[in-house]
Chains A and B, each alone.
Chain A
Amino acid sequence: QSALTQPRSVSGSPGQSVTISCTGTSSDVGGYNYVSWFQQHPGKAPQLTIYDVTKRPSGVPDRFSGSKSGNTASLTISGLQAEDEADYYCCSYAGSYTYVFGTGTTVTVL
């Protein structure tokens, strides 16, 4: 099972929007509506940001949103804030109770 492909880094100024892509195959991202996104600050455990492609856990600001088209899922951060600077990972169900993570994206707030 190969890791899902994410851009190594994205950046934006405060208040702008950024979008992170997560590209897999029809055996993972494209085959199921079970894509999650995790935010990870340095030295901390990952935190769930989006699950089931579009759902936002309680406590996550609504400036975070998820979507999917074909084999590519996306996370959009609208109204970028300084505290959004972190690493972001997508994760997809890949069938038979297996999962695969993305390669990770560093978001920099300029």
Chain B
Amino acid sequence: QVQLVQSGAEVKRPGASVKVSCKASAYIFTRDYIHWVRQAPGQGLEWMGIINPSGGSTEYAQRFQDRVTMTRDTSTSTVYMELSSLRSEDTAVYYCARDGLEGTDLWGQGTLVTVSS
């Protein structure tokens, strides 16, 4: 079954880092770019960045440039998003999404990251 499966919910202290994983199944992992998108409680969608699973190149939204790192492991068809220096405003559901042949057609189930002291 073609799908993206994300890691489970996380609770982090302010100032800590979080690393969320997104495992691809049943399609050619290196063919399609992967986006990371987040949604704070009751708020809209926010684009964070994109990674090319083939070569590992990345592009980040300006506001996350100094805090986010996206990587991939082709041996396990998994991409990762690490966000550092967490603050309460980073509490959100984080999604990975595939940029396929017909648009951003496949989304992970979302990972809730809660930042609280």
B56 to chain A, nearest CB (A): 13
Is the Cβ of B107 less than 8 Å from the Cβ of A46? yes
Residues of A within 8 A of B (CB): 1, 3, 36, 38, 40, 45-48, 51-52, 55, 57-58, 89, 91, 96-104
Is the Cβ of A48 less than 8 Å from the Cβ of B105? yes
Dominant secondary structure at the B interface: strand
Is the Cβ of B62 less than 8 Å from the Cβ of A101? no
Is the Cβ of A103 less than 8 Å from the Cβ of B44? yes
Residues of B within 8 A of A (CB): 35, 37, 44-47, 50, 59, 61-62, 95, 97, 102-105, 107-110
Contacts of A102 in B (CB 8 A): 44
Closest A residue by C-beta to B99: A99
- The 18 sampled A-B contact pairs (Cβ below 8 Å) are A1-B61, A3-B44, A36-B104, A45-B95, A46-B37, A46-B45, A46-B95, A48-B105, A51-B102, A51-B103, A57-B102, A89-B44, A98-B47, A98-B50, A99-B47, A101-B37, A101-B45, A104-B45
Known: A51-B104, A57-B103. 7 other contacts (CB 8 A): A46-B95, A47-B107, A48-B104, A55-B102, A57-B105, A99-B35, A101-B37
Is the Cβ of A104 less than 8 Å from the Cβ of B50? no
Is the Cβ of B103 less than 8 Å from the Cβ of A96? no
Is the Cβ of A97 less than 8 Å from the Cβ of B107? no
Closest B residue by C-beta to A90: B45
Known: A45-B108, A48-B103, A48-B105. A91 touches B47 (CB 8 A): yes
The answer for the CA separation of A59 and B97 in the assembled complex, in Å, is 18
A68 to chain B, nearest CB (A): 15
The answer for the CA separation of A86 and B105 in the assembled complex, in Å, is 18
Known: A45-B95, A51-B102. A97 touches B50 (CB 8 A): yes
Contacts of B109 in A (CB 8 A): 45
